[in-house]
Amino acid sequence: MLDQNQAEELVKRALSFSDADETEVILSHGEENLTRFSNNIITQNVARNTDGLAVKVHLGKRVGRAGTDRFDDESLKRAIAQAKLAASQAKENSELLPLLGQGTYHETQAYCPNTADFGPEERADVIAQFVAAARREKAEAAGIFSSGGEAVAIGNSRDLFAFHRETKAIFSGTVEVEGASGWAEEVQSDVSKIDASAVIDTAIRKALQARNPIALEPGPYDVVLEPAAVTDFLMFMTFEGFGGLNFVEGRSFMSGKIGQRVMGENVTMIDDAYSDLSPGLPFDFEGSPRQRVVLIEKGIARAPVHDRITSAKVPKGGFALGTQTTGHSLPQPNSSGPFPLNVALEAGDSSLDEMIKTTKKGILVTHFHYSNVLDPIRLTLTGMTRDGTFLIENGKIAKPIRNMRFTESVVEAFNRIELISKERKTAHAFFGGAFVVPAVKIARFNFSSVSEF
Amino acid sequence: MKSFAENAIDTAVKLGATYADIRIVEKRREDILVRNGQIAELDLTEDLGFGVRVITDGAWGFASSARVNKAEIDRITGLAVRIAKASARLKAEDVRLAHEPVWRDTWVTPCTLSPFDVPLTEKLTLLFAIDEELRKAPQVVAATGSMSFLRERQWMATSEGSFIDQALLRSGGGFSATAVKDGDVQVRSYPSAFGGQYMSGGYEIVLGLKLLDHAARVREQAVALLAADVCPPGKKTLLLEGSQVALQIHESVGHPSELDRVLGMEANFAGTSFATTEKLGNFQYGSPIVNLVCDNTIPGGLATSGYDDDAVRSQRWPIVHEGKFVGYQFNRELAHRIGANRSVGSNRADGWSHIPIVRNSNLSLLPGEHTREQMIAETEDGILMETNRSWSIDQKRLNFQFGCEVGWEIKNGKLGRMLKNPNYQGITYEFWRSCDAIGDANHWVLWGVPNCGKGQPSQTAEMSHGAAVARFRNVTVGVGNEKM
């Protein structure tokens, strides 16, 4: 995988070809090795190697950007010429800010050579274990084992240079037996930390338990959400609520609410790229150091994340924010504003077992499928349960149930969280992004309809 | 490029591959976005790379790289063979590819005006004019207008002897206004949501949209929605404008008819399908007036090309005929699973770096016989919904819930008050069976979906769905709106 020296050479060589007023280069490199299986066989097996170099130039207050994936001198010069062409034909951008000088960044331990070198034979071996276990239960296994990483570097004509690389291994599996399904997943930077047996055993156990589901009437139920189910909520909070542009334009549930209670007292959410559970990029796409930001503290809205542009804007209502960039900028300019990339819901002191034991009648959810936003301010979402949904009665998992659709304001639901687990894990949301999440129990969560399976 | 391609095939065969193909793809993109009076995107991107796919020891391997040179092609081809051998450790039977004639051909998307010949200043002038119009209302906090153009040149060679050189072009654009007041956010878009309307072709497509002509109306409607009544919950007759029917087709007919999904190959991510193979030919998917046809030859379709990424010639075939489920979308590998002798040509990859997988084709609802006015006049108690705002469907493609930007109440045959937060929920086949009127050819538009995600690793494909306004009876609407 690309290393810092190689990245620095390339970035500086590209910059040397530009005579624009200001020039910025963002280099990306990805290696994605993924073995996919279904019906107990390997169906797809790929090794993707991608490169990209985006160059942005300022000509006064005009800006243009071009990209290439070829790094010979001629291609780099052409990309710069294209960026200058775009800038020369653009209108002036009144929000355009000068590029930043060198920052100080704290490294995050996100790269592991084991993961980068994990090959197709080793992935096949793990999958073979899964398939063998599934076959013993007369079940079928589907899923992925992915190992790879990415590197990103940013440099500019003010001598800023920053480099980061990270690896990621994902083992995810769905087991189907007699029309029922169960699922489990684990994500780690270090592939050797993946507990494949735990993933396999959990997916099989859930599938076996999920056979012959009954139909439950739609309505409000106490719900116990495993960590993967919580991730969808955090993902939509990230894109609809925690970004500085949504906030200043009045489109966030936090708009006008800083310092006010928006969630339960037991809810604290932080964006932290330096967490051991989900280490991330220590700088943003302008080269600002990424800060740890307390988004929600004991239910009180504290702050969204900002870039230099959003932090300077006065929101509707008239009070000045008086804050600086938090180091969450996407490549500038952009249309979406800054976002947190490493959101974590702080742990509580409970456990999944306790949540189940304390539930007289409720629903246990493994994860959700295809959730989406109905109302961005109340953050009303709708989505389906999948791969292991169970009725809890009198403190025990009583029966499997057919999958249900929820329609609920998750901001309001986070005011009704009764328990949060002490144990947390890194999990993916359906549409992407990694979050550090515990299990939670929420009172009176609304399920609006039921499916046929 | 031809010599690179031949080199890859030769290397793969020497290493023991029984089938090999290579796609060398060169992309050129231009993405422009203006937001609140500023240029938020002005990106000119070029991209070149290749992907090699092999069958060795009866199983697939794939590898890709951005470095197009002989040494790298040899390395990547060797890696693809190594990966295939690893895949072969867990197979049930050798991969079988349906027969396809050998093709040596070129194909180019027809266009009248290349978007890359139109000056950036001209495009920006149009987008800024739209922006200015949208922001005449203070309640509009975000005005976004965009255009995007993509030219993709692909050279594909197979070990069977096919060599296909295609140049695909697609263009489009659109805009939206987001209005905010007292914690309420409303959006109106034109010609459709999430970036607008896209078709294969050149800048003539953008000119044909007449974007600026609609900017004032979109602004006015976004503001009006803030004061509109909330769509009431209940059971109603539902009329959907064409772009929303297109989304309905995509999610509840297109995806469930992808054969790889039916056979469980997407089980871990996007799910499976209720449209299992025993239903083929004997399941009532919709009412007798519902006819849904795939057509990858249709002019203007985003999936329209000469050949797919299996080197299969593009075709037209039915999925639902007079309400009955009659067809799937599939590739060479899966054809034999339903007794088909030939692929229908539905295998496509997102560029060079991804492996081809079964993708939604240009799947359209054939026009009916009603005019929009007739449909409204015949409706006693209904809601007309327009422009998608949200979508959610279960992993077997049965229970869905979709939201639109705007609705209008229909009472006793007349359009009435505007409604905000309209949404509707249903079970796929019950919904299509309740369809009792479809707009005629005068109302039919080929709507583009440029951002369909599928697969692991995730990849994006583009396709079109032709649709006119359509009516559905006794549909649950306004889910969750009791609290508003």
Give the model confidence (pLDDT) of B65-93 as tens digits.
999 999 999 999 999 999 999 999 999 99
**Is residue B260 domain-shared with residue B174, that is, in the same domain?**
no
Closest residue in chain B to residue A83, using alpha carbons only: B44
Q: Rounded mean pLDDT of B442-451?
A: 96
**Is residue B208 domain-shared with residue B259, that is, in the same domain?**
no
Report CB contact under 8 Å: B267, A405.
Answer: no
Share of chain B above pLDDT 90, in %: 98
**Is residue B298 domain-shared with residue B426, that is, in the same domain?**
yes
Report CB contact under 8 Å: A384, B391.
Answer: no
Report CB contact under 8 Å: B180, A251.
Answer: yes
Report CB contact under 8 Å: B393, A85.
Answer: no
Of B254, B347, B272, B248, nearest to B307 by C-alpha is B347
**Is residue B260 domain-shared with residue B203, that is, in the same domain?**
no
pLDDT at A317: 45
Per the DSSP assignment, residues forming a β-bridge with B149 are B30, B171
Report CB contact under 8 Å: A34, B427.
Answer: no
Specify the DSSP class assigned to residue B370: B
Task: Give the closest-approach CA distance of B441 to chain A in angstroms.
Answer: 32
**Is residue A38 domain-shared with residue A183, that is, in the same domain?**
yes
Which amino acid does the sequence have at A334?
N
Tell me the per-residue pLDDT of A14-70, one tens digit each, with 9 for 90 and over: 999 999 999 999 999 999 999 999 999 999 999 999 999 999 999 999 999 999 999
Report CB contact under 8 Å: A128, B120.
Answer: no
Per the DSSP assignment, residues forming a β-bridge with A78 are none
**How far apart (Å, rounded) are the C-alpha atoms in residues B192 and B247?**
11
Which residue reads 């359906």 in tokens? A430
Domain boundary (A206, A227, A246) is at: A206
Q: How many domains does chain B have?
A: 2
Task: Give the closest-approach CA distance of B452 to chain A in angstroms.
Answer: 12
Report CB contact under 8 Å: A66, B43.
Answer: yes
Domain boundary (B187, B206, B227) is at: B227
Contact B251, B397 (CB under 8 A): yes
Which residue range forms the structural domain that includes residue B184? 2-227
Residues of B in contact with A45 (CB under 8 A): 59-62, 83-84, 86-87
3-state SS, B311-342, equals CCECCEEEEEECCEECCCECCCCCHHHHCCCC
Q: List Cα–Cα distances, B311 to A415, B15, B454, in angstroms.
A: 55, 22, 21
**Is residue A371 domain-shared with residue A432, that is, in the same domain?**
yes
Q: List Cα–Cα distances, B175 to A128, A136, B143, in angstroms.
A: 50, 55, 7
pLDDT at A318: 40
**Is residue A406 domain-shared with residue A452, that is, in the same domain?**
yes
Domain boundary (A206, A235, A269) is at: A206
Tell me the per-residue pLDDT of B311-328, one tens digit each, with 9 for 90 and over: 999 999 999 999 999 999
Strand B363-365 and strand B381-393: the pairing is: unpaired
**Is residue A43 domain-shared with residue A90, that is, in the same domain?**
yes
Contact B65, B48 (CB under 8 A): no
**What is the rounded average pLDDT for all residues in chain A?**
94
Residues 6+ apart with CB under 8 A from A318: none
**Is residue A190 domain-shared with residue A242, that is, in the same domain?**
no
**Is residue B351 domain-shared with residue B467, that is, in the same domain?**
yes
**Is residue B100 domain-shared with residue B183, that is, in the same domain?**
yes
Is residue B297 predicted with pLDDT exceeding 70? yes
**Is residue B139 domain-shared with residue B258, that is, in the same domain?**
no
Mutate to test the interface with A, among B23, B25, B43 (most CBs of A within 10 A): B43
**How far apart (Å, rounded) are the C-alpha atoms in residues B72 and B316?**
38
Which residue range forms the structural domain that includes residue A395? 213-453
Name the residue among A95, A249, A369 with its Cβ closest to that of B38.
A95
**How far apart (Å, rounded) are the C-alpha atoms in residues A105 and A94?**
29
Mutate to test the interface with B, among A41, A46, A202, A450 (most CBs of B within 10 A): A46
Backbone angles phi, psi at A6, to 5 degrees: -65, -45
Q: Percentages helix, strand, coil for chain A, rounded to the nearest 5? A: 20, 40, 35
Name the residue among A64, A79, A403 with its Cβ closest to that of B394.
A403
Closest residue in chain B to residue A131, using alpha carbons only: B90
Q: List Cα–Cα distances, A130 to A136, A181, A208, B94, in angstroms.
A: 10, 15, 15, 21
Report CB contact under 8 Å: B90, A403.
Answer: no
Report CB contact under 8 Å: B45, A448.
Answer: no
Contact B408, B244 (CB under 8 A): no
Output the domain CATH number for residue A181.
3.30.2290.10
Q: Which two tokens stand for residue B28?
A: 């050129």
Domain boundary (B199, B227, B255) is at: B227
Domain boundary (B202, B227, B252) is at: B227
**Is residue A134 domain-shared with residue A223, that is, in the same domain?**
no
**Is residue B273 domain-shared with residue B421, that is, in the same domain?**
yes
Per the DSSP assignment, residues forming a β-bridge with A156 are A24
Domain boundary (A166, A190, A206) is at: A206
SS3 B111: coil
pLDDT at A253: 96
**Is residue A354 domain-shared with residue A391, that is, in the same domain?**
yes
Tell me the per-residue pLDDT of B118-151, one tens digit each, with 9 for 90 and over: 999 999 999 999 999 999 999 999 999 999 999 9
**Is residue B201 domain-shared with residue B263, that is, in the same domain?**
no
Report CB contact under 8 Å: B38, A333.
Answer: yes
Report CB contact under 8 Å: A48, B64.
Answer: yes
SS3 B34: strand
Residues 6+ apart with CB under 8 A from A353: none
Per the DSSP assignment, residues forming a β-bridge with A51 are A29
Name the residue among B60, B274, B479 with its Cβ closest to that of A407.
B479
Tell me the per-residue pLDDT of B223-268, one tens digit each, with 9 for 90 and over: 999 999 999 999 999 999 999 999 999 999 999 999 999 999 999 9
Residues of A in contact with B268 (CB under 8 A): 36, 38, 142-144, 172-174, 183
**How far apart (Å, rounded) are the C-alpha atoms in residues A89 and B32?**
12
Q: How many domains does chain A have?
A: 2
**Is residue A231 domain-shared with residue A199, that is, in the same domain?**
no
Residues of B in contact with A375 (CB under 8 A): 185, 421
Share of chain B above pLDDT 70, in %: 100
**Is residue B299 domain-shared with residue B313, that is, in the same domain?**
yes
Name the residue among A41, A45, A334 with its Cβ closest to that of B92.
A41
**Is residue A195 domain-shared with residue A236, that is, in the same domain?**
no
Q: Which two tokens stand for residue B114?
A: 């290349």
Q: What's the whole-model pTM score?
A: 0.95
Residues of A in contact with B121 (CB under 8 A): 89
Report CB contact under 8 Å: B38, A373.
Answer: no
Task: Give the closest-approach CA distance of B364 to chain A in angstroms.
Answer: 24
**Is residue A162 domain-shared with residue A232, that is, in the same domain?**
no
Residues of A in contact with B394 (CB under 8 A): 369-370, 384, 386, 403, 405, 451
Name the residue among B65, B89, B180 with its Cβ closest to that of A250.
B180
pLDDT at A427: 86
pLDDT at B1: 87
SS3 B392: strand
pLDDT at B24: 97
Of B411, B473, B121, B463, nearest to B304 by C-alpha is B463
**Is residue A199 domain-shared with residue A281, that is, in the same domain?**
no
Closest residue in chain A to residue B82, using alpha carbons only: A120
Report CB contact under 8 Å: B395, A47.
Answer: no
E strand or H helix that includes residue A28: strand A22-38
E strand or H helix that includes residue B62: strand B59-65
Name the residue among A183, A250, A333 with its Cβ closest to that of B39.
A333
Closest residue in chain B to residue A95, using alpha carbons only: B38
**Is residue B274 domain-shared with residue B412, that is, in the same domain?**
yes
Residues 6+ apart with CB under 8 A from B469: B239, B240, B241, B242, B245, B372, B375, B438, B439, B443
Name the residue among A94, A123, A174 with its Cβ closest to that of B267.
A174
Specify the DSSP class assigned to residue B256: G
Which amino acid does the sequence have at B138?
P
Task: Give the closest-approach CA distance of B421 to chain A in angstroms.
Answer: 8
Report CB contact under 8 Å: B390, A382.
Answer: yes
Residues of chain A with pLDDT under 70: 314-323, 430-432
Q: Rounded mean pLDDT of B375-397?
A: 96
Task: Give the closest-approach CA distance of A104 to chain B in angstroms.
Answer: 28
Report CB contact under 8 Å: B457, A46.
Answer: yes
Task: Give the closest-approach CA distance of A32 to chain B in angstroms.
Answer: 8
DSSP characters for B257-294?
GBHHHHTTTTTTTT---S--GGGTTT-B-S-TT--EEE
**Is residue A158 domain-shared with residue A259, that is, in the same domain?**
no
**Is residue B403 domain-shared with residue B364, that is, in the same domain?**
yes
Output the domain CATH number for residue B77.
3.30.2290.10
**What is the rounded average pLDDT for all residues in chain B?**
97
